[in-house]
Amino acid sequence: MGIIVALTGSSGNMGRETLPALMSLPFIDRINLLYLDNRRERRFARKIKRRYGDRVFQIFGNIANEDDCEKLISDADYVINLAAVIPPASDSEPEKTRECNVTGVKNLVKAIERREKQPGFIHTSTVAVYGNRNYLHPWGRVGDPLLPSVYDVYAATKVKGERIILDSNIEKWSILRQTAILHNRMLTDNMKDGLMFHTCFNVPLEWVTSRDSGLLIKNIIKRDYEEGGVENYWNRVFNIGGGDKNRVTGYDTFEEGFGIIGGSAEKFMRPGWNSIRNFHGMWFSDSDELQDMFDFQRESVKDYWLEILKSHPYYKIAKILPPVIIRKLAIERLLPDPNSPSRWIKNGDEGKVKAYFGSKENLKCMPEDWKDFAVLAKGRLPDGDVNYRELKNIKNLKKYGFVLPHGYDETKADSELDLDDMRAAAEYRGGEVVSEEMNKGDLYTKLLWRCHDGHEFYASPYAVLKAGHWCPECTEPEPWDFDRLSKFMPYYANVWYDTHAKGENVVYFFDDEHHAKFTRF
Ligand SMILES: [Zn+2]
């Protein structure tokens, strides 16, 4: 007797690699797939049907529809949720994004909870939940504060999606925070609007390829099925990363990608084109955890770039045309796009300018020439130089003070954590734990907490201490209130003030027409 897997998002970047990887497992009898009911998805689904025949069962509908989710998971042994509306679509279609990334998760959770024998639930989240990092804390791990970037509807909805699972009654779940993913539609997807200019040149990025991500999901199912459960895997949150060879910065990424077509970051771009904060990305100090369990990190981003570019028209054109023409054809044409920082500046979009550059005044001091711009990848910082290789060495985390405290005694074994640890963690988050009892070491029975603003909420010790979640009313955007929250939450202040001044007293929000606004407090 084999097993049945339910998979969402199989036509997405990660899904396209995950489905064939899963299909190579002989003990999977069938995979249930959910597609949107539109022409593009139906065309894709026909191809899948031709290839796999009766081993796939296809449903056309919407994850935001309860009945469709019910049908999808009705007989599944595992449910894998890869469905998400991601940037740049999430920037222009917030409603669709909420439907898929929040309502969709709610529906899957409800359908799983209703089953007498529950399937295991694997949910993909994102590095974007951590928000912006720079050279002051380029490394991070699960349990670090969730400070999703201002105006990033994608990240905000992914935080909410995680919370639904953490608060659920699902017996076997796991949340995988996916890092920057390199996939073969990267160039076409990310070079059609202004999204590439959101990437700060100095942001730390740990890439993984979509193929390795597919292999990870396959290996999770394989081990779990063959061993009757993988120890220390279920009911936890993990970071997916590509490991040491794939830890770079925004600048290195442009340098590598453009280098293959005869250019470079500096030949193709200008310092003032890209935002200087409010992006997301970091190097994971704990991405070896999944690697140790499931051995999936095979590919380097460098090799994969080459593979992608070779099949792209730019690769051939670049051999004939000089870099300045490529710059105009491929990149400069995107500068006036509504999703590009240059356009926000030109239009006087104060909310976006404030969020991504700090202030209008900061724009005046932006260097125009690369020789004046401190590129982290070259070991240059605005206030002196640094050894970039040393910074990137995982052995130096403590030396550089890169390990963020989570507000309780982390030297204790999980089985020893008690109410005192909850009190300490709550205080570090500016609030308190209301519950007066807790079974020592029980990280999954919910406790009652109170935030600084007086909201009371239930959450498991795991969600708070280990996964970085806190008050659903004031810390899950929107609005983005981190200037204020950081004043009494040392847990947030540690990271927030790396890229924000203490005197910035602003709350960011979207108005009814989805215009980026802020008010001072
Ligand atoms: Zn609150």
Query: If you measure from the C-alpha of residue 141 to the centroid of ligand 1, how many angstroms do you get, rounded to a whole number?
Result: 24
Q: Say how many Å lie between the CA of residue 454 and the centre of ligand 1.
A: 6
Q: What is the 3-state secondary structure (H, E, C) of 382-437?
A: CCEECCHHHHHCHHHCCCCCCCCCCCCCCCCCHHHCCHHHHHHHHHHCCCEECCCC
Please give the distance, rounded to the nearest whole angstrom, from the Cα atom of residue 111 to the centre of ligand 1: 29
Per-residue pLDDT of the chain (521 residues; tens, 9 = 90+): 899 999 999 999 999 999 999 999 999 999 999 999 999 999 999 999 999 999 999 999 999 999 999 999 999 999 999 999 999 899 999 999 999 999 999 999 999 999 999 999 999 999 999 999 999 999 999 999 999 999 999 999 999 999 999 999 999 999 999 999 988 777 777 777 888 999 999 999 999 999 999 999 999 999 999 999 999 999 999 999 999 999 999 999 999 888 887 889 999 999 999 999 999 999 999 999 999 999 999 999 888 888 877 777 767 777 777 878 888 888 899 999 999 999 999 999 999 999 999 998 888 888 989 999 999 999 999 888 999 999 999 999 999 999 999 999 999 999 999 999 999 999 999 999 999 999 999 999 999 999 999 999 999 999 999 999 999 999 999 999 999 999 999 999 999 999 999 999 999 999 999 999 999 99
Contact 303, 225 (CB under 8 A): no
| Residues 478-505: tens digit of each pLDDT | 999 999 999 999 999 999 999 999 999 9
Q: How much distance in Å is there from the Cα of 431 to the middle of ligand 1?
A: 9
Rounded Cα–Cα distance for residues 178 and 181 (Å): 7
Q: Which residues of 18-40 are buried (b: 16+ CB within 10 A; e: fewer)?
A: bbebbbebeebebbbbbbbeeee
Q: Which residues pair with 417 in a beta bridge?
A: none
**Phi, then psi, of 128 in degrees rounded to 5:** -60, -20
How far apart CA 342 and CA 337 sit, in angstroms, is: 8
Provide the pLDDT for residue 162: 98
Q: Is the separation of the CB atoms in 202 and 250 below 8 Å? A: yes
For residue 451, the CA-to-ligand 1 centroid distance in Å is 5
Q: Tell me the C-alpha distance between 124 and 183, whole Å.
A: 16
* Cα 4 to middle of ligand 1, angstroms: 41
Give the distance (Å) from ligand 1 centre to CA of residue 488.
12
| CATH fold of 3-181+207-241 | Rossmann fold (3.40.50)
Measured over the CA atoms of residue 18, residue 13, residue 41 and residue 34, the dihedral's sign is positive
Q: Using the 8-state DSSP alphabet, how is residue 445 labeled?
A: S
Report which secondary-structure segment, H or E, holds 207. strand 204-209
Tokens representing 301?
A: 């981003």
CA of 475 to the centre of ligand 1 (A): 7
pLDDT of residue 154: 97
For the beta carbon of residue 481, count every other beta carbon within 10 angstroms.
18
CATH 3.40.50.720 domain range(s) in the chain: 3-181+207-241
Note the pTM of the prediction, 2 decimals. 0.97
CA of 485 to the centre of ligand 1 (A): 9
Distance 413 CA to ligand 1 centre (A): 29
Distance 471 CA to ligand 1 centre (A): 5
Q: How far is the CA of 520 from the centre of ligand 1 (A)?
A: 19
CA of 78 to the centre of ligand 1 (A): 34
DSSP 94-120: HHHHHIIIIIHHHHHHHHHHH-SSPPE
pLDDT computed for residue 310 by the predictor: 78
CA of 456 to the centre of ligand 1 (A): 7
pLDDT at 313: 73
CA of 459 to the centre of ligand 1 (A): 13
User: 192 alpha carbon to ligand 1 midpoint, in Å?
Assistant: 39
Which residue in 389, 197, 425, 427 sits closest to 283, CA to CA? 389
Residue 354 backbone dihedrals phi, psi, to 5 degrees: -65, -50
**Separation of 138 CA from ligand 1 center, angstroms?**
28
C-alpha 344 – ligand 1 centre gap (Å): 32
- Looking at residue 173, what is its pLDDT? 98
C-alpha torsion angle, residues 278, 280, 282, 284 (rounded to 10): 140
Q: Max Cα separation, the chain?
A: 72
pLDDT tens for each residue of 149-198:
999 999 999 999 999 999 999 999 999 999 999 887 777 777 778 889 99
